[in-house]
């Protein structure tokens, strides 16, 4: 039941997609074309995405998870290998390492932005380490230079980082491979989908080969590798093309929403946004605050519950992956990662989408202020 104090009569979704008439028309046109599987739209999306991020190659896939998985397989990662990744991520980043037959090794994150700590990565390197898989959490690029300096292949999880730049360079062609997600909540949202960008032509060709059973001419075919079924449908590519067209327009709306949150949260002791590095362009995919219970008067779970009662949807990015059941059971010798473990209990993502109006964000802020006043007694 809504609380009487709520200013809303309807629930504010955490991250609704910003779909307009253009996307609807593009889907209708694709359906009428009779071409539903990967075809001209997926190819056009690859061209436009490669151009947008400044990479030589882009390969469209069925999901961000597939983008990461096929990148690892194409890079030759397999049984006996270790891949260092962050515990503060969607579990897909680690699951794909398991699917490739290798072992995910978790390195702790930095207190400031909860991105992987390059010193912790360096300390985790062993002779079995074959790649590093960092994540640009919330859209803040992680510190890539010290990771590249380790001399290992880097496969970036850029699911949150479509618009991001790192020290003036666009995320997309800085490492061996960069993997994006086109999932329903992402900054370029197709519903489902993914993209690998790279300057490495051989890697791109290997991923193309893996994403689909190879087809030959006519009714004859051959198989040169046991490929997956991880190609992107043209129906979804049609949506992604429209979304890519709007990416800067949507970024502007995100910037306004984030400025409103920054101003409000600065007045609420105990709610601390993740640090954004002014040297970088942050994709503003998520607005994450850490709830410091001692000052905020209650913990993250209390805040999330109270906001839900105020009809405000929130989310958690992320629970530390190494503490999730599968990882605890499969790798019982997990090291303790104190920064990630503390952060996992504090992070709360506030509603953020270009589909939200300024009034929606004001509703979320009003609710946050009321909840904070109640919990702190101020």
Ligand X SMILES: Cc1ncc(COP(=O)(O)O)c(C=O)c1O
Least distance between ligand X and beta carbon 64 (Å) = 3
Site string (54-73) toward ligand X, x via CB under 6 A: ---------xxx--------
Least distance between ligand X and beta carbon 364 (Å) = 21
Site for ligand X in 154-193 (CB under 6 A): 157, 159-160, 181, 183
Task: Note whether 90 binds ligand X by CB under 6 A.
Answer: yes
What is the Cα–Cα distance from 259 to 63, expressed in whole angstroms?
31
Question: Which one, 70 or 92, has the nearer CB to ligand X?
Answer: 92
Is 186 one of the catalytic residues? yes
Task: Note whether 135 binds ligand X by CB under 6 A.
Answer: yes
| Cβ-contact 158, 172 below 8 angstroms | yes
CA 117 vs. chain centroid, Å, equals 18
Task: Tell me which of 186, 229, 246, 292 is the catalytic residue.
Answer: 186
Considering only 37-45, 84-92, 238-246, 273-281, which stretch makes contact with ligand X by CB under 6 A?
84-92
Question: Which one, 66 or 203, has the nearer CB to ligand X?
Answer: 66
Least distance between ligand X and beta carbon 95 (Å) = 9
Distances (CA, A) of 164 to 44, 55, 173: 22, 14, 12
The β-bridge relationship of strands 287-291 and 347-350 is: antiparallel
| Cβ-contact 38, 233 below 8 angstroms | yes
Site string (280-319) toward ligand X, x via CB under 6 A: ----------------------------------------
Q: Is 325 exposed, middle or buried (0-12, 13-18, 19+ CB in 10 A)?
A: exposed
| Cβ-contact 198, 222 below 8 angstroms | no
Beta bridge partner(s), residue 181: 194
What is the Cα–Cα distance from 364 to 313, expressed in whole angstroms?
9
Residues that bind ligand X (CB under 6 A): 63-65, 89-90, 92-93, 135, 157, 159-160, 181, 183, 194
The catalytic residue positions are: 186
């Amino acid at each position: 039941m809504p609380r009487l104090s709520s200013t809303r009569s309807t629930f504010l979704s955490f991250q609704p997609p910003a779909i307009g008439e253009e996307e609807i028309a593009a889907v209708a046109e694709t359906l009428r074309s009779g071409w539903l599987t990967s075809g001209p739209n997926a190819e056009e999306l690859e061209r436009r995405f490669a151009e947008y991020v400044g990479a030589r190659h882009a390969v469209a896939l069925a999901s961000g998870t597939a983008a990461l998985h096929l990148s690892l397989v194409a890079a030759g990662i397999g049984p006996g290998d270790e891949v260092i990744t962050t515990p503060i991520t969607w579990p897909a980043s680690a699951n794909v390492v398991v699917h490739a037959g290798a072992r995910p090794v978790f390195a702790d994150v930095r207190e400031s932005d909860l991105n992987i700590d390059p010193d912790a990565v360096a300390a985790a390197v062993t002779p079995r380490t074959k790649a590093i898989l960092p994540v640009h959490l919330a859209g803040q690029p992680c510190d890539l230079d010290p990771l590249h300096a380790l001399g290992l292949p880097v496969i970036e999880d850029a699911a949150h980082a479509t618009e991001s730049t790192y020290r003036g360079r666009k995320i997309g062609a800085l490492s061996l491979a960069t993997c994006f997600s086109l999932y329903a909540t992402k900054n370029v949202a197709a519903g489902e989908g993914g993209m690998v960008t790279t300057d490495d032509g051989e890697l791109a060709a290997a991923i193309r080969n893996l994403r689909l059973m190879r087809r030959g001419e006519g009714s004859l075919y051959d198989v040169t590798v046991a490929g997956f079924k991880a190609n992107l449908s043209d129906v979804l590519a049609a949506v992604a093309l429209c979304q890519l067209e709007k990416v800067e327009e949507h970024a502007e709306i995100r910037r306004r929403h984030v400025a409103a949150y920054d101003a409000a949260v600065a007045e609420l002791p105990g709610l601390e946004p993740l640090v954004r590095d002014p040297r970088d362009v942050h994709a503003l995919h998520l607005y994450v605050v850490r709830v410091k219970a001692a000052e905020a008067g209650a913990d993250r779970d209390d805040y999330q519950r109270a906001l839900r009662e105020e009809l405000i949807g929130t989310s958690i990015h992320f629970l530390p992956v190494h503490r999730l059941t599968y990882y605890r059971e499969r790798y019982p010798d997990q090291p303790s990662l104190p920064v990630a473990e503390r952060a996992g209990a504090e992070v709360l993502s506030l509603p953020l989408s270009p589909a939200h109006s300024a009034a929606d964000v004001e509703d979320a802020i009003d609710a946050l202020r009321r909840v904070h006043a109640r919990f702190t007694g101020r």
